[in-house]
Chain A
Amino acid sequence: MSNAPVLSVTGLTKYYRAFKSLDDFSLTLPSGKIVALLGPNGSGKTTLLKIIAGLLTPNAGSVSILGCPPGEESRGSVAYLPDRIAVPGWMTPDQATSYFADFFPDFDRPKAEAMLADLGIPMDKPLGKLSKGMREKVQLALVMSRNAKLYLLDEPISGVDPAAREYILRTILSCHSPESTVLISTHLIADVEEVIDEFVFIRDGRLLCYDSAEEARKREGKSVDEMFREAFRC
């Protein structure tokens, strides 16, 4: 397993007008890990993922993905699942699959079609006519069918039913390889507890803790979920 960093962020600061969403945030992730990004609402998780994906410009700091800043090259190796439905409603799952296959050289079309079939998605119905849960599943299937080096998943399991949640977590595990890292932001810590290698606690835009899940569990004698509840108790 290679330990060369797949992602390195240094001194990231982002303001939304007067509100500081990220405050001098730094983090380096090696390849081959599933990392949970955990924090309460408004702690800066989504902002961090958007900056890494290149959708937001930080006020200060830098991002390096496999040695490159966010741009055309990094977009080819980063698969980002946003916290909203980005695939336009006029597209059918079949057209959306063709769209991904046309633009992303690392997209595995047979894998996407198999996942969509497993999830019971009709291929010829426009996404706008599918339920919100189904649209989320389509989007997740498309993103996870890429053989990316870095997956950025923003709340991938929050809107789906428990049965699909299990399937999605299995999919994340199956996509995971020694060459790829998954950074997953979620509130449902108990659901991801068993699949994560490492976790990051973020509060008020600052890094609170970055640790190995297994080592922390052994050291503290608690689950990551319990550690989270303790750290962020209201």
Chain B
Amino acid sequence: MLKKLLKYDFLSLKRFLIPLYLLTPVLALFAGMLSWITNRMDNNVVTLGLKSIYLFSMVALILSVALLPVLLVVYYYRGLYSDTGYLTLLLPVKRRQLILSKLLCAFLSITAYLIVAFFSFGIAFFAGTAAILGRNPFYAYSLFFSVVGDFLTSTPLHPVLLAIEGLIYLLAWLLLEFSNYYLGVTLGAVVFQGKGKIWGGILFCIVTESAVSTVLSLIEFAFSGGILGIGGVDAFDSPLILQIFLIGGIVLRLAVAIGVTIFNIRMTEKKLNLG
């Protein structure tokens, strides 16, 4: 059943995902080209105009990246707690399958989008530097990857290990974020009735996210304090300490995401109010 639910979730999201997957690289290419042209021109008036357009296109690019998480949370709300809920919540499937399908769908969509965004940022941010160096716009990618490479070699950990663990950390963080948002939407629907569910959902998204992030930060802060107290600042040059930080962060986020999702499922099963 989960496979079927995923099929229809993706079929529904396809309408938003495909345009967004295209919009971000197009905006990035546009911004990158503008930056490249601006840096090769001498005319101050034209340059000022192009720089203004570049600024707007960069803002649009960043907004396009922020749009997908918002769309996915709205999709979750609409799929379960608006009129469509009168169909989905009546399917002869377990409520946990409904929630897991939406969570998995969000996770996979955003993971795919990260790849698109990663390559988009390469040209948007570094095409200007490529122009200054007298190279073609796509030299931006060489510069971008060398910056990424410098970052990966800046710690005592092996760069490949750091890249893999960093990626897993990012994915665990994303999973936790969506688990928090989805619990917030459910709490809004449980506590509030009618149109109030939308505002309740937004309120609880903020509350849930803030509460979970604060608790996690306090745990990590306390752990850092402990390390500093025992080993001093030099302790952070140790690959082992960094590994513990990274893997501990991943495990903590995954555990909290699972806990939050189980609570979300319980609330949907026991306290549902589709008023």
Contacts and interface: CB of A to CB of B under 8 A. Distances in A.
A124 to B, nearest CB: 15
B4 interface: yes
Contact of B90 (A17, A53, A88): A53
Given A55-B89, A86-B87, A16 B275 contact: yes
A97 to B, nearest CB: 13
B91 interface: yes
B265 to A, nearest CB: 13
A90 B270 contact: no
B interface SS class: loop
Q: Which of B83, B90, B271 has the most CB of A within 10 A?
A: B90
A78 B8 CA distance: 22
B217 interface: no
Contact of B272 (A56, A72, A76): A56
A103 B4 contact: yes
Interface size class of chain A, counting residues whose CB lies under 8 Å from the partner chain:
20 to 34
Interface string A20-43: 000000000000000000000000
Interface residues of B, number: 25
A69 to B, nearest CB: 11
Contacts of B87: 86-88
Contacts of B94: 72
A5 interface: no
Contacts of A102: 4, 8
Given A50-B274, A75-B91, A55 B86 contact: yes
Interface in B222-275: 270-275
A54 B89 contact: yes
Given A84-B83, A86-B87, A56 B92 contact: no
A55 B91 CA distance: 11
A82 interface: yes
Contacts of B193: 16-17
Given A86-B83, A88-B84, A102-B4, A56 B90 contact: no
B274 A56 contact: yes
Contact of A75 (B92, B274, B275): B92
Given A16-B193, A56-B272, A57-B273, A103 B86 contact: no
B83 A72 contact: no
A84 B93 contact: no
Interface string A81-117: 0101111101000010001001111000000000000
A50 B95 CA distance: 17
B8 to A, nearest CB: 6
Interface in B88-123: 89-95
B12 interface: yes
A151 interface: no
5 contacts: A54-B89, A72-B92, A84-B83, A90-B12, A95-B11
User: Which 9 A-B residue pairs are closest in the complex by CB-CB distance?
Assistant: A86-B86, A76-B92, A86-B87, A82-B86, A55-B274, A75-B92, A103-B91, A84-B83, A102-B4
